[in-house]
Structure 1
Amino acid sequence: MSKKYTIQYRHLKTEDLWEGFDLKSMIVDILRRKREGVVVGENAKLRILDLDQDQSFVILNKLSNPDSWDGPVFAGQVIHLQEGSDVQAVMQSLEDDTAEFVLHNLNIGDKARVLKGALYFAVIGNHVGMIEGQQVRGRTLERYLTSLLQNAGELDQGKAIILNSRFLTGDGKELSESSELTVSAVPNRGNEPHDPTERASRIVEREAAQEREEGSTVFDVLRTLGWGVEAIKSLRAEVPNDGWIEGFFRVVIKAKHKKKPISRATINEALRNIDPADIGMRGDGSEKGGIVKLSTQRTIASIGSLLDPADAMEQIVNALKEWAVNGKIDCNFGG
């Protein structure tokens, strides 16, 4: 069985790293080191990271053949496992005539960990191709690689691995600089309970892209913009139970009351984890045909409901090669 998946392109931001930094070589070097007397690349236990400190583990699990690591490409599978041994499922056939389908708790064993999702990627130099999972996104890969390099003493605290997207116009041309961006927030439904948790500080500290991925709402962004509790309560009260409020927020840079252009580099970084459908841009005029990330769709084999890791990684490498041949990326597969 096979299905089409989107392979997207990313490129390591190197401005804050040292000259000559090579992500692929760095990953391979760390995997070849020994920890606790064992080679890291030979023992998946040594590649487990608890990124959120909540006993949900992120693991660089499946690796490309170590014999190929001296070549130009490294590829891998990142999985996210969550704590808990209970899985909810319907045990009846969906062909049954029934008033309702009964949900059952299935215990899969105390040692089991439930798969939250998986991501597949390949790296050549500082070029990255990836297939995101529903729950494991590019942000997870960035955080994992950041932690991996920091734990190995190769990246200072405060530095981060940032994998920029490459945005294009709808007809495949380079983006012009934009004088204005709009980013949509997740709608607040009228019947949603009030969440008193204050998230404004996190929104300020992290880029808008991560917050959009986490589902930050209109009210979250209004808090960041300085709206007080009472003002938000008043606005919330105006939303009927069967309605919702939507927000599209403008991002502009001004100097002496005039708009300054937002560079392509800034767009590629700040919006890397946002769906292009949630972004609007305006320069001399709106971008024709919208904007898209550099990506391609490939048919990939699956094993049950999971992607075949070997085929996924192979197709990502093929996509990178295709982009290189077509001049979309400046990437050398010659080693």
Structure 2
Amino acid sequence: MPKKTVVVHYRRMEHIGEPLPGTTLEAACREAFCTQIDGTRIADRLRHRIWTRDQAGEDYLFANFYHDDGASLFGDVTHFTKGHMQALFQAGLIDEPVVPIRQMPAPEDMEYIHSIMYWLIVSNHVFILQSQSLKTRTLEDYLTWLISDKAATRAKPFQIVLSSKFDPAAVGGDLSNITGITIGGIIAPGVEADGEVEGPAQHVLHEAVQRGAITARRASAFAQAREILSTLLGGSAQADEYLRSVPQEAELSLEVHIGYKSRKRKIDRAPLKALETGLRNLDDGDLKVTARDGHKGPDGDIRLREPVSVETIGALINPVDAREKMLAVYQSLVKNEKIAP
């Protein structure tokens, strides 16, 4: 069977504000999936697992696969838009100057799928196979909806937070040696002062540190650059003037560096733990780490993750093999003492 290499990302449930006191994420999700609606468990009827996440009622997420072996939970998150049409071009006319492009609806009683991601939960440990468009934040939001809205097994306000964990190997084996973390890089080509970006729009998670707490919010790549420049240059007008001076063919690079200076031999783990949580939804390539001895971790290798080879069925990942490989990653991290059972 064909295979492809993918990356299993590690996350851990954080009890910020004690959302799940006295239990684990695995137990809370199992309770939610076993909750009955109209006499049927949520796990036994797909209709109960479909989340309409926009007011127009067109954008949906749902867990299609669900497997509970008593020691772990495995599933997916599938994304589709109601009535979405697929664009095609006339391949038989490639010798013509221009070929017609048209949109085709899905067959009757079917919908086109945008993307699928997979997850495995063991106690408070979470292992994720992200897709190009579905990341950890999607799983946080879906599980939050499942537990607090659909199953209503936890009272609101309630929010699942899946924190990343820095890999000691990224800084030579000791996280306390970290002296700096750099966030960012190339923002976007051809940014303009009115907020338009030439080419595909880029969306990133902007992280700000305020009074010792980390807050996260979504912003476009341009908006992130504009806000930071406004702070540095003394206002939005000055930022806009600077952005207008950037040549259209140039790429604007903007980085934020968080550093630590201390006479102590060891740096307190608490600030690093806060960054693991606050920066959890940034792309791997947006983070770089520097250690006290000058060691620099490879871009994107600061957080715990492992590449695996999974079987594919056509272009789709085989979920049975994905579950086995994710369990193997859990066992590997426990064996190497990077996480506790």
TM-score (norm 1): 0.82
Gaps of 5+ in 2: 197-202
2:289 paired residue number:
281
1:7 paired residue number:
8
**8 Å CA contact retained: 2:3, 2:309:** yes
Q: Which amino acid aligns with 2:256?
A: F
**8 Å CA contact retained: 1:146, 1:155:** no
Q: CA deviation at 1:127?
A: 0.7
**8 Å CA contact retained: 1:185, 1:212:** no
Moved more, 168-177 or 205-214: 205-214
Q: Which amino acid aligns with 1:63?
A: Y
Distance 2:195 2:82 in 1: 25
1:56 paired residue number:
59
Gaps of 5+ in 1: none
TM-score (norm 2): 0.80
1:25 paired residue number:
27
**8 Å CA contact retained: 2:6, 2:310:** yes
- In the TM superposition, what whole-angstrom CA distance separates every residue of 1:100-134 from its partner, at most 9, and x where no partner exists? 55432112257543322111011111011110000
Distance 2:35 2:218 in 1: 35
**8 Å CA contact retained: 1:186, 1:212:** no
Q: CA deviation at 1:265?
A: 1.0
Superposition map of 1:101-140 within 5 A:
101-109=99-107, 112-140=110-138
**8 Å CA contact retained: 2:187, 2:222:** no
Query: Helix, strand or coil: the match of 2:154?
Result: coil
1:248 to 255, 267, 285: 255
Q: CA deviation at 1:77?
A: 0.8
1:232 paired residue number:
239
Q: CA RMSD in A?
A: 3.4
Q: CA deviation at 1:46?
A: 0.4
Are 2:71 and 1:72 equivalent residues in the alignment? yes
1:195 paired residue number:
195
Are 2:273 and 1:265 equivalent residues in the alignment? yes
Distance 1:210 1:185 in 2: 18
Q: Which has the higher contact order (CA 8 A, sep 6+)?
A: 1
1:173 paired residue number:
173
- Number of aligned residue pairs: give it: 319
Query: Helix, strand or coil: the match of 2:48?
Result: helix
- In the TM superposition, what whole-angstrom CA distance separates every residue of 1:46-88 from its partner, at most 9, and x where no partner exists? 0111234452111111111x5x2xx211100111112333111
Query: Helix, strand or coil: the match of 1:170?
Result: helix
Distance 2:6 2:290 in 1: 30
Distance 2:163 2:23 in 1: 16
**8 Å CA contact retained: 2:189, 2:252:** yes
2:226 paired residue number:
219
Q: Percentage identity across aligned positions? A: 21
Q: Which amino acid aligns with 1:246?
A: S
- In the TM superposition, what whole-angstrom CA distance separates every residue of 1:280-318 from its partner, at most 9, and x where no partner exists? 334535443344221111111112221112221221112
2:333 to 294, 301, 323: 323
Q: CA deviation at 1:217?
A: 3.9
1:299 paired residue number:
309
Distance 2:121 2:222 in 1: 29
**8 Å CA contact retained: 1:14, 1:21:** no
